[in-house]
Structure 1
Amino acid sequence: MILQQVGGTASSVQMMKWAFLLSCETPSHGGKTFYQFIPYRYGPYSFTLNQETDSLIRNGFLEKGTDNRWKLTPLGKGLDLKLPSDVSKDICQIIATYGKLSGQKLINLVYDKYSWFTINSELSGRRKEQRPVAKKYIYTAGYEGKTVDEFLNLLMESGISRLIDVRYNPISRRYGFHKSTLSRLCSSLNIDYQHFPGLGIPGSERECIGSENQYITLFENYRLNLSSHEKDLANVIGFLQSEPSVLVCMEANPNCCHRNVLAQHLATLIDMPIKHLGYST
């Protein structure tokens, strides 16, 4: 829809910044399922938007030239998008306001208005905020219900510099949370990625778990078995003590996730309080 409004072609920088401004400066924010953004090399960026754009290219709706410009194909131009009226109205407003600005002018405008998104800038002298550094806690976080952009932005805002994945089997249907992808995205943001499958719970042990008593039994068995993973625990303790790190699994509610049991066990071994990121009771 944005490309259709600007004549079918735009640079990747322009598209990313227009989408960001749509999410920040309009009543609809682009809709309930619109993209989230992280601070990246040239300001706000969405890994999810980029991934979906690649999918549109593969399916013949878009072309990407050597000059890094996106262009609608005849197939893409023929799409009849059915967006909510408020979103369509807001897209038109963003293009009317910012549609004639070059990529560089959009970068300058966004940098001036949204200083958080300059923290990872590769442009010399353009960082207007410093990336925060968290105090040493045993942090935990679950990505359930979040896009990978929203989740990684939470970690950066919280001052986290290492992600400790404690899933037994780190796969996900949700883009960005498969081990290989998550590791790559973390690396691009200077977040160290570590995986400890031995500290996870196999999916087979979670089958048919539906009651509170079953969860209590599952987590109690997990707690009792932790002593057999001394090497993994020692490595995790070393990571927690060296820089701000977060134990990550899927469930949003830490009380429904083994990472909370793990955090409580670690708290008996090292003098660090526990803090759950992105979750409030």
Structure 2
Amino acid sequence: MNAIRKQPVYHRQRLLLYFLECLPAKQTDKRRGLSDSDLQKLLLLYCKDVGSSHYDFVPWDYGGYSFQCAYDLNLLEKRGWIKRQDNKLILNQKIDNEHWAIESEERKMVRRWIPQYPWRGEELIAQTYRVHPYYALHSKMKGRLLNTEDLTRVDNSLGTVKNGEVILFTLGYEGIHFETYINKLISNRVAVLCDVRYNPFSQKFGFSSSMLLQVLPRLGIEYRHFPELGIVSKKRQSLHSKADYESLFDDYCDNLANRKAGLRKLRQVVESKRRVALTCFEANHQYCHRHCISDFFENNYHYQVEHL
């Protein structure tokens, strides 16, 4: 079986197996396996405690949640590394002889760490809320699991913003987790995400419009696509130097007059929703056309612009 089973490529996927390995394997042991919820909560606590960047989490219906983790668990199940039984995730076979597990320092770290958190179910959920109140922001259970003082900490976890302040944010998703990106929107109280990619599809997990449309509204953030403000793919094929980018953006700015309808529509969104973010791929806004759009609004309408 091992010879034909596809190996987990990423360290983050191996981490999930290390977690499940630490739990009782006997069929008669009631502690056997982990529910999806318990694994997500333990993983959140682990990543925060040890400073791991394997996964990030968003405040979801029942607390901190990683979409990437859920995807990886399904992948590991399809490949035969884990199975689901009685609503629990269970390691399907021993990993002692796998070359990537034998000398893994993280495997040793997980074994030392996991006994610190014996709670499961609602006790574990409540513990994550108390330690990391931000992740309880959208919880359906916080009113039942937390006391008044804890709930106040949840409400205050985002800080305050000036009412009515108009800010045009820009951000890219290059090099960061989907969940990290979403947290930037939440922490800056973004009301609408305006996607200025010509084609809102990405091979990077989470960043196609279909996923954004599925996730953002449940967090109180509206998603809108502005293809008329995008740059067609053929114009982005030969960008090898800073001069190439500058030439592309000079051409884009020179032809903004041809995009008046899109700019007008975007301005209406900003004036109405007040805290709006422009998004595209590049991490550095100077290498993305979104800075041309934000510069236009800053120069012509004196909007405050913040590049996240």
TM-score with structure 2 setting the length:
0.81
Does the 8 Å contact 1:160/1:245 carry over to 2? yes
Counterpart among 20, 29, 44 of residue 20 in structure 1:
44
Unaligned stretches of 5+ residues in structure 1: none
When Rg is computed on C-alpha atoms for both structures, the one with the higher figure is 2
1:52 Cα offset (Å): 1.0
Counterpart among 294, 298, 304 of residue 263 in structure 1:
294
Letter in 2 for 1:106: L
Q: Distance in 2 between matches of 1:95 and 1:105?
A: 15
SS for the counterpart of 2:301 is coil
1:61 aligns with 2:78: no
Q: Distance in 1 between matches of 2:264 and 2:172?
A: 22
1:274 aligns with 2:305: yes
1:51 aligns with 2:82: no
Q: Distance in 2 between matches of 1:207 and 1:229?
A: 22
1:40 aligns with 2:60: yes
What is residue 214 of structure 2 aligned with on the other side? 184
Unaligned stretches of 5+ residues in structure 2: 1-17, 26-32
Counterpart among 107, 111, 129 of residue 154 in structure 2:
129
What is residue 268 of structure 2 aligned with on the other side? 238
What is residue 105 of structure 2 aligned with on the other side? 86
SS for the counterpart of 1:252 is coil
Aligned pair in 2 of structure 1 residues 209, 139: CA closer, same or farther (>3 Å)? same
Q: Distance in 2 between matches of 1:175 and 1:124?
A: 29
Q: Distance in 2 between matches of 1:124 and 1:114?
A: 12
Does the 8 Å contact 1:237/1:270 carry over to 2? no
1:140 aligns with 2:170: yes
1:3 Cα offset (Å): 0.6
Letter in 1 for 2:201: I
1:7 Cα offset (Å): 2.5
Matches within 5 A, 1:109-124: 109-124=127-142
Aligned pair in 2 of structure 1 residues 183, 81: CA closer, same or farther (>3 Å)? farther
Does the 8 Å contact 1:132/1:156 carry over to 2? no
1:82 Cα offset (Å): 2.1
Matches within 5 A, 1:93-108: 93-98=112-117, 100-108=118-126
TM-score with structure 1 setting the length:
0.88
Percent identity, aligned pairs only, is 28
Does the 8 Å contact 2:169/2:307 carry over to 1? yes
Q: Distance in 1 between matches of 2:136 and 2:126?
A: 10
1:102 Cα offset (Å): 1.4
What is residue 6 of structure 1 aligned with on the other side? 23
1:153 Cα offset (Å): 0.9
Aligned pair in 2 of structure 1 residues 162, 64: CA closer, same or farther (>3 Å)? farther
SS for the counterpart of 1:231 is helix
What CA RMSD, in Å, does the superposition of the two structures yield over aligned residues?
2.1
Does the 8 Å contact 1:37/1:150 carry over to 2? yes
Aligned pair in 2 of structure 1 residues 167, 81: CA closer, same or farther (>3 Å)? farther
Aligned pair in 2 of structure 1 residues 227, 81: CA closer, same or farther (>3 Å)? farther
Aligned residues: 270
1:133 Cα offset (Å): 6.8
